[in-house]
Amino acid sequence: MKEFEIILVDDSPEDTDLALRELRKCNLVNSIRTFENGQQAYDFIMEHATDGIPRMVLLDLNMPVMDGLEFIQRIKADEKTKGIPIAVLTSTTELPDIKESLRMGVKSYIPKPIVIEDVVKIAVDMGYHIQIVRKD
């Protein structure tokens, strides 16, 4: 799963679309795999995760089936996956949940709507060497 270096989990197709459109602005777009809820993302990670992969999970909190907090809890509970960096996608409406996620070990968050600079900045903070190549 080398090509899927970033996982985006969000139940809103518009938000996902807009995020992909934003990310499409740079060369990262082909490395992104999206899921509609935590369960799908979790199942995928459990099946495919290997050392250092995925590089990053961009996670919405308010989702059906399995919400973001439960997802974090499960990922952090598993020895194999607990090292995966997670960045929470926030809207200003979810302050308590953001705090809770930080308490559970999440180190970064990105306010919605996603702007490419934010993602790159966090990736750099996490130690990745990412170079953005603007297409426009």
Q: Which residues bind other proteins (CB under 8 A)?
A: 12, 14-15, 18, 21, 62, 91-95, 112-113
Cβ nearer to other proteins, comparing 21 with 103: 21
Q: Which residue has the tokens 């973001």?
A: 68
Between strands 56-60 and 108-111, the pairing is: unpaired
Cβ nearer to other proteins, comparing 39 with 90: 90
Cβ nearer to other proteins, comparing 14 with 47: 14
Q: Which residue has the tokens 């559970």?
A: 104
Q: In the complex, what is the shortest distance from the CB of residue 95 to other proteins, in angstroms, rounded to a whole number?
A: 8
- For residues 7-33, one letter each, b for 16 or more C-beta atoms within 10 angstroms of the residue's C-beta and e for the rest, the string is bbbbbeeebbeebeebbeebebeebbb
Cβ nearer to other proteins, comparing 85 with 113: 113
Q: In the complex, what is the shortest distance from the CB of residue 55 to other proteins, in angstroms, rounded to a whole number?
A: 25
Q: In the complex, what is the shortest distance from the CB of residue 107 to other proteins, in angstroms, rounded to a whole number?
A: 24
